[in-house]
């Protein structure tokens, strides 16, 4: 058995050791997700979701309506939700709410839901360098 030193990369998590703690991020994984869904050249956004309407008929997160078509297997909706869930669970709590909201429609997503998934991916493109700091400095 050989000691490889401190972990720097594990299961898509990148780890950086600092004097005051540990930085964890998934910048490389986000880059892979952007390329996988052909969003690596998309215009970045500053919010992960659109503002929801109090009127149920105008809410973009409402369930499928009778006249709306369900997306076919050519649209990688479940795959995108899975990739975003992985990010939300480990280093991106800022997208957890909207990803869980959209995961409800994995069995029958519509074009409206797919557009919201693309909104999250464009948001990630805008702030790929966000990191979590686990501080080792005791609080006073």
Model confidence at 60: pLDDT above 80? no
pTM for this model (two decimals): 0.82
Provide the percentage of residues in the chain whose pLDDT is more than 90: 47
Confidence label for 47 from pLDDT (cuts 50, 70 and 90) = confident
Q: Give the 3-state secondary structure of residue 50.
A: coil
Model confidence at 4: pLDDT above 60? yes
Q: Do 18 and 131 contact (CB within 8 A), yes or no?
A: no
Give the residue with greater pLDDT, 87 vs 62.
87
Mean pLDDT of 3-22: 90
φ, ψ at 40 (rounded to 5°): -70, -15
**pLDDT of amino acid 59:** 64
- Which 8-state DSSP code applies to residue 9? E
Confidence label for 96 from pLDDT (cuts 50, 70 and 90) = very high
Q: Give the 3-state secondary structure of residue 71.
A: coil
Going by C-alpha positions, the residue among 104, 121, 102, 125 that lies closest to residue 113 is: 102
**pLDDT of amino acid 103:** 92
Strand partners, 23: 16, 133
């Amino acid at each position: 058995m050989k000691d490889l030193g401190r972990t720097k990369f594990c299961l898509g998590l990148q780890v950086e050791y600092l004097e005051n703690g540990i930085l964890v991020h998934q910048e490389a994984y986000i880059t892979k997700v952007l390329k996988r869904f052909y969003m690596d050249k998309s215009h970045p956004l500053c919010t992960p979701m659109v503002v929801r309407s109090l009127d149920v008929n105008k809410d973009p997160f409402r369930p499928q309506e009778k006249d709306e078509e369900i997306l076919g297997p050519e649209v990688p909706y479940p795959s995108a939700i899975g990739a975003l869930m992985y990010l939300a669970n480990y280093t991106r709590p800022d997208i957890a709410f909207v990803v869980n909201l959209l995961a409800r429609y994995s069995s029958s997503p519509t074009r409206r839901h797919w557009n919201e998934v693309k909104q999250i991916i464009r948001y990630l493109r805008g702030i790929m360098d966000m990191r979590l700091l686990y501080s080792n400095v005791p609080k006073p």
